[in-house]
Amino acid sequence: MTLTNRDIADIFENVATLLEIKGEIIHRVLSYRRAGETIREMARDLRAIAAEGTLTEIPNIGKTLAEKIVEMLETGKLEFYERLSAEIPPGLVSVVHINGVGPKKAKLFWKELGITTVPDLETAARAGKLRDLAGMGAKSEQKIIEGIESLARQTGRTSLGVALPAAQTILDSLLKLPGAIEGAIAGSIRRGRPTIGDVDLLVASDDATPIMDAFVKMEQVARVLGHGPTKSSVELLNGLQVDLRILEKARWGTAINYFTGSQAHNIRMRELALKQGYSLNEHAFSPVDKDGNIIEDAPKILCATEEEVYAKLGLPWIPPELREDSGEIEAALENRLPNLITLKDMQADLHMHTTWSDGKLSIREMAEAAKARGRKYIVITDHSQYSAIAGGLSVERILQQQQEVRQVDTEMGGDFRVFHGVEMDIRSDGTLDYPDEILQQLDFVIASLHFSLRQPREQITQRLLNAIRNPHVDLIGHPRGQLIPEREPADLDMDAVFEAARQHGTALEINANPRRLDLEAQYARRAVELGIPICIDTDAHAADQMDLLYFGILTARRGWVTAKSVINTWPVERFIAWTQNRGK
């Protein structure tokens, strides 16, 4: 069996975890883990690089690891990994990946209870056998059960931040081929879902064969799962599955509509079509008799555009982000679809970090980067002192920083403004990280939870409420604290959070980083219904991260958000007036 990049990445990461359980020095653990992560992200096939003899030029791959890669490519296995697996049960790797379990606990469960797999652990947890072990209790046992459930929900899905650029690269290369007329990404990516199962690509062409052949032979392909004249499927080196369908241009509208989904939206569309005497699928509208059977010799109606498909059903075109059967069909029928926010509406970015804390660029460089992207104003919001590992600013340092912000603001000229804020920690005990006298000197205050995110519901909700109610706090950053895919949101009472934000007019963030997308769409939708102001921010730590704003816009659109609910669509004067009126 030949191993793919992904297989080799898996083995290195498993070695790292097993070494960690064994209690190896962290340096050795990390060298395997970093190598695994690097290989997982690589676009080129390791086999090709090994053939060139340039494996050691890959970041995080030294001579020893390069030899191990060669061993795996040649023999299909790694001797060192086999020996390690004989010593420590490899099933523990999955146990370590459960939220609430780490290498120490995995070892404890193994040594004390003989647990070597996730199912073993689940059985023991549900039987109440974990709570009496050293350092455990009924609560941590419950957390482990929840962790196992959440792992089961996530498996097999890839984050939008990884899938969208990968899909776009492939589509771009297909569209360069002769004979390709039009192409699009369909499926859950087009709908902007935060995680996706597989990539769905559509290309219109009268000559599918050469395009299909090129698709299955792409360098990033690890395995061909299917290769046909109109549909092919491949698995990429990073594990992502990609489906490509090729069809004639005359059927583009029905096809892109069908393969964009969601399935629930498609079902509603089909019901509407049936009421008008048609069966609707990816190929056409086909007339049906009174029993719903397709009338074979009746002419079918083809749609070359998606607009025609909706128009045939008496509907305006529905933006893909809304197609979840969550009220969009009704809204379309009554002509009250929301005028969704777009990237062009965005005037500002109100959350970003610089070298003053854990960012990569200076204040001036971040300002230039934002200006180059068409923003009209920004707020510099470095971390506060409680985030010591992120270089959080003491009271003295943040006051010092203000002078530099003011200076850059002047240097940038009047048509681009730079304001001074902070991303302040809400400490584990619920207090805020700076006193009010400091907060009132800042132009804009974000309060965020970064630590103790697994506190019980009442306690962690109270922390957030303390921040929302402080008149100097303008915005709650990434309110639910999730990381995609590995960290579940905090256990917050969101009704209480919304009620407080509404009462105090405190804004809630849609953090655009695809690792966060927090608030998610369904929460953003409720916030907007309640009249709570929204900010869509990049939380950029470097210039290129400012481009991630697009993912925040997708999430906002999925949440039915229009520009008028979003603070950073406002002209700068209105933004200044809003911040100045708060806290009064």
Give the Cα-Cα-Cα angle 206, 211, 217 (nearest 5 degrees).
165
Candidate segments 155-163, 214-222, 447-455, 544-552, binder of Zn ion by CB under 5 A? 447-455
Count of residues interacting with Zn ion (CB under 5 A): 1
Window of 206-214, 391-399, 445-453, 485-493 that interacts with Zn ion by CB under 5 A:
445-453
Q: By CB under 5 A, tell whether 200 contacts Ca ion.
A: yes
H helical segments located in 88-199: 92-96, 103-113, 118-126, 138-154, 160-175, 187-190
Give the interface segment with Ca ion, choosing from 180-188, 332-340, 347-355, 540-548 (CB under 5 A).
180-188
> Does 384 engage in binding with Zn ion (CB under 5 A)?
no
Q: Are 76 and 1 in contact (CB under 8 A)?
A: yes
Distances in Å between the Cα of 190 and the Cα atoms of 83, 183, 205, 243, 554 are 45, 12, 21, 14, 9
In the complex, the smallest distance separating the C-beta of residue 155 from ligand DGT, rounded to whole angstroms, is: 12
User: Measuring CA to CA, which residue among 469, 400, 465, 389 is closest to residue 438?
Assistant: 400
Residue nearest to ligand DGT (CB): 261
Select 23 or 228, whichever has its Cβ closest to ligand DGT.
228
- Nearest approach in angstroms of CB 262 to ligand DGT is 5
Backbone Cα Rg of the chain: 27
From the CB of 198, what's the least distance to Ca ion, in Å?
Answer: 4
By CB under 5 A, is residue 385 in contact with Zn ion?
A: no
CB under 5 A: which stretch of 161-169, 371-379, 403-411, 442-450 binds Zn ion?
442-450
Measured at the CA of 517, the angle between CA 257 and CA 366, to 5 degrees, comes to: 115
Minimum Å gap between C-beta 193 and Ca ion is 9
Among 266, 385, 448, 455, binds Zn ion (CB under 5 A): 448
Task: Give the C-alpha distances (Å, rounded to integers) separating 415 from 99, 374, 411, 442.
Answer: 47, 11, 11, 21
Q: Is 194 in the site for Ca ion (CB under 5 A)?
A: no
Q: Does 235 help bind Ca ion (rule: CB under 5 A)?
A: no
Residue closest to 215 by CA, chosen among 247, 274, 175, 255: 175
Peptide bond into 94 cis (omega under 30): no
> Between 188 and 466, whose beta carbon lies closer to ligand DGT?
188
Angle formed by the axes of helices 118-126 and 138-154, nearest 10°: 140
Instruction: Give Cα 270 to chain centroid, integer Å.
Output: 31
| Residue placing its CB nearer to ligand DGT in the complex, 187 or 481 | 187
Shorter beta-carbon distance to Ca ion: residue 255 or 348: 255
Minimum distance from residue 187 beta carbon to Ca ion (Å): 3
Task: Output the DSSP codes for 511-565.
Answer: E--TTT-BS-HHHHHHHHHTT--EEEE--BSSGGGGGGHHHHHHHHHHTT-BGGG
| 357 near Zn ion, judged by CB under 5 A | no
Contact between 187 and Ca ion (CB under 5 A)?
yes
What distance in Å separates the CA atoms of residue 31 and residue 60, rounded to the nearest whole number? 7
Min dist. Cβ of residue 167 to Ca ion (A): 10
CB-CB contact of 370 with 378 (8 Å): yes
Indicate the residue among 451 and 578 with the shorter CB distance to Zn ion. Answer: 451
Kindly state the smallest distance separating residue 189's Cβ from ligand DGT, in Å: 7
Q: State the binding partner of 402 from Zn ion, Ca ion, ligand DGT, none, CB within 5 to 8 A by kind.
A: none
Rounded Cα gap, residues 42 and 5, in angstroms: 8
Q: Report the Cα 168 to chain-centroid distance in Å.
A: 16
Looking at 7-15, 88-96, 190-198, 538-546, which segment touches Ca ion (CB under 5 A)?
Answer: 190-198
DSSP for residue 191: T
How would you label 568-579 residue by residue, b for 16+ Cβ within 10 Å and e otherwise?
bbbebeebbebb
What is the spatial distance between Cα 101 and Cα 120, in angstroms, rounded to a whole number? 14
Name the residues that contact ligand DGT, by CB under 6 A. Answer: 187-188, 193, 196-198, 200, 258-259, 261-263, 266-267
Nearer to ligand DGT, 266 or 470 (CB): 266
Which of residues 223 and 406 has its CB atom nearest to Ca ion in the complex?
223
CB-wise, 103 or 261, nearer to ligand DGT? 261
The binder of 448, among Ca ion, ligand DGT, Zn ion, none, by C-beta within 5 to 8 A per type, is Zn ion
Nearer to ligand DGT by Cβ, of 281 and 305: the residue is: 281
Distances (CA, A) of 179 to 3, 208, 222, 356, 480: 34, 8, 25, 52, 47
Task: List the single partner that 266 binds among Ca ion, ligand DGT, Zn ion, none, CB under 5 to 8 Å by kind.
Answer: ligand DGT
Which of ligand DGT, Zn ion, Ca ion, none binds 421 (CB below 5-8 Å, type-dependent)? none
Q: How far apart are CA 60 and CA 243, in angstroms?
A: 32
- Residues forming contacts to Zn ion in the complex (CB under 5 A) are 448
